[in-house]
Structure 1
Amino acid sequence: MLRQDVGLGSRLIPFHEGLQLQRTVHAEVVAGRRPSTLLLMEHEPVYTVGRRTHTWERPDGDVVGPGHVPVVDVDRGGKTTWHGPGQLTVYPILRLTPPLDVIRYVRALEAAVIELCALYGLETIRVEGRSGVWVPADPADPADATVPDRCRRNERKICALGVRVARGATMHGIGLNVDPDLEAFSLERIIPCGIDDAGVTSLSAETGHHLATNAPADALVAALEAYLAPLVADAT
Structure 2
Amino acid sequence: MTAPREPFFPAHLAIRADADTPLEIRRLGNVDYLKAWELQSELAQQRAADEIGDTVLVLEHPSVYTAGKRTQPGDHPTDGLPIIEVNRGGRITWHGPGQLVVYPIIKLAEPIDVVDYVRRLEEAAIHTVRHIGATTAGRIDGRSGVWVPASTQAADPSASVRDRKVAALGIRITRGVTMHGMSLNCNNTLDYYEHIVACGIDDADVTTLSLELGREIQVGEMIDPLIDALDAALSGRLTVADHSFGSAPDPNKSRTRK
Equivalent of 1:136 in 141, 149, 161? 149
For 2:75 and 2:93, locate their aligned partners in 1 and report how far apart those are by CA, in whole Å.
11
For 1:90 and 1:131, locate their aligned partners in 2 and report how far apart those are by CA, in whole Å.
16
Deviation, 1:184, is 1.5
* Match of residue 203 from structure 2: 197
* Match of residue 234 from structure 1: none
SS in 1 for 2:192: helix
SS in 2 for 1:6: strand
For 1:129 and 1:211, locate their aligned partners in 2 and report how far apart those are by CA, in whole Å.
29
Deviation, 1:131, is 1.1
* Match of residue 26 from structure 1: 44
Question: 2:101–2:182: 8 Å Cα contact kept in structure 1?
Answer: yes
For 1:184 and 1:58, locate their aligned partners in 2 and report how far apart those are by CA, in whole Å.
11
* Match of residue 92 from structure 1: 104
SS in 1 for 2:215: coil
SS in 1 for 2:220: coil
* Match of residue 143 from structure 1: none
Equivalent of 1:79 in 71, 91, 104? 91
Question: 2:89–2:172: 8 Å Cα contact kept in structure 1?
Answer: yes
Structure 2 unpaired stretches of 5+: 1-22, 238-258
For 2:76 and 2:173, locate their aligned partners in 1 and report how far apart those are by CA, in whole Å.
23
Q: List, as ranges, runs of 4+ consecutive aligned residues in structure 1 with deviation greater than 6 Å.
A: none
SS in 1 for 2:139: strand
Q: Write out aligned runs for 1:81-120 (5 A).
A: 81-120=93-132
What is the TM-score of this pair, normalised by structure 2?
Answer: 0.78
* Match of residue 48 from structure 1: 66
Report the residue type matching 1:45 in the other structure. Answer: S
* Match of residue 229 from structure 1: 235
* Match of residue 142 from structure 1: none
Equivalent of 1:6 in 24, 28, 52? 28
Question: 2:102–2:183: 8 Å Cα contact kept in structure 1?
Answer: yes
For 1:202 and 1:172, locate their aligned partners in 2 and report how far apart those are by CA, in whole Å.
20
What's the CA shift string for 1:15-41, capped at 9, x where partnerless?
A: 001101111111111111111111000
For 1:205 and 1:138, locate their aligned partners in 2 and report how far apart those are by CA, in whole Å.
12
Deviation, 1:49, is 0.2
Q: Residues 95 and 230 of structure 1: is their aligned pair in 2 closer, same or farther, counting only changes over 3 Å?
A: farther
Report the residue type matching 1:102 in the other structure. Answer: V
What is the TM-score of this pair, normalised by structure 1?
Answer: 0.85
SS in 2 for 1:95: coil
CA RMSD, Structure 1 to Structure 2 (Å)? 1.8
Deviation, 1:230, is 4.2
Report the residue type matching 1:173 in the other structure. Answer: G
Equivalent of 2:184 in 176, 180, 183? 176
SS in 1 for 2:43: helix
Question: 2:27–2:57: 8 Å Cα contact kept in structure 1?
Answer: yes
For 2:74 and 2:185, locate their aligned partners in 1 and report how far apart those are by CA, in whole Å.
25
Report the residue type matching 2:233 in the other structure. Answer: Y
* Match of residue 247 from structure 2: none
For 1:24 and 1:5, locate their aligned partners in 2 and report how far apart those are by CA, in whole Å.
17
Structure 1 unpaired stretches of 5+: 140-146, 232-236
For 2:161 and 2:183, locate their aligned partners in 1 and report how far apart those are by CA, in whole Å.
22
Equivalent of 1:17 in 35, 38, 42? 35
SS in 2 for 1:89: strand
Deviation, 1:58, is 2.7
Identity %: 42
